[in-house]
Amino acid sequence: MTFLVIDIGNTRLKWGVYAQAHPEAPLLEQGAVVLEDIDGLWETTWKHLPRPQGMLGCVVAGEAIKRRVEEHLSRWGLSPHWLVATSRAGGVINGYDHPHRLGADRWAALVGARHESRELGPSKAAALVIMIGTAVTIDALDSKGHFLGGSIMPGFGLMLRALETGTAGLKVPMGSATEFPTNTSDALTSGGTDAIAGAIERSYRRLARREGSDPLLLMSGGAAPKLLSLAEELPVRFVEHLIFQGLLVLAHEQALGRETS
């Protein structure tokens, strides 16, 4: 019995097949495809996989993309189940003003982070959850699992495109992040990196001050490797499949018919 999890972001669809709907289940298969290539996902990949027994996904890309994915799922005879944020699940209490308006990907990542923090014991339960993709989200969980809130900012690509659109003569390739850039490509990349890293540092120190101890700093997302240098200054833990982990926790809860406290 296998279980399929899907994360449809702004740029790519990421998927994973696990041995079962459980956060400790082994990952058997995984892949990713840009949204423009979703129509070919079945023929190139999914039809060669054993039929999953169930699925749970999160989607932020809109209804049209979701319907195209559901067409593929129907070839397996799978009923689609898409995550919507709730007021409480997976040991997380949703502190958003309107809980159901929290992005499903952020909700899944928070649940995944709560599971990760529990593995390290109660003294490390508070967590700052960073997702680095097309956009960057910085979300705070206190030691009791309350989602305190978070911020959203442009990712690397959006920052660069904004500068290219709004200025003259800045259409240059992506550079490298350095301490003191000496060319325009590196200057742009370093500026974006410092902006994101600075926002993370500020949120980390706010949460540490509120909790009275250093929280976990959990980072995930396709562009997370671009912030590897942050690990030299803060105790960053890179978690490759944080959203998948949250989806598995929630799917397991649904299978049990109860919420894990």
By annotation, the residues acting in catalysis are 105
Q: Which of 108, 127, 39 is nearest to 247 (CA)?
A: 108
Q: Which residues of 1-26 are buried (b: 16+ CB within 10 A; e: fewer)?
A: ebbbbbbbbbbbbbbbbbebbebebe
* Contact by Cβ (8 Å): 136, 155: yes
**Position 14, amino acid:** K
* Contact by Cβ (8 Å): 81, 59: no
* DSSP percent split of the chain into helix, strand, coil, nearest 5: 45, 25, 35
**Could you count the other beta carbons within 10 Å of the beta carbon of residue 228?**
12
What contacts 47, CB < 8 A, 6 or more positions away? 75
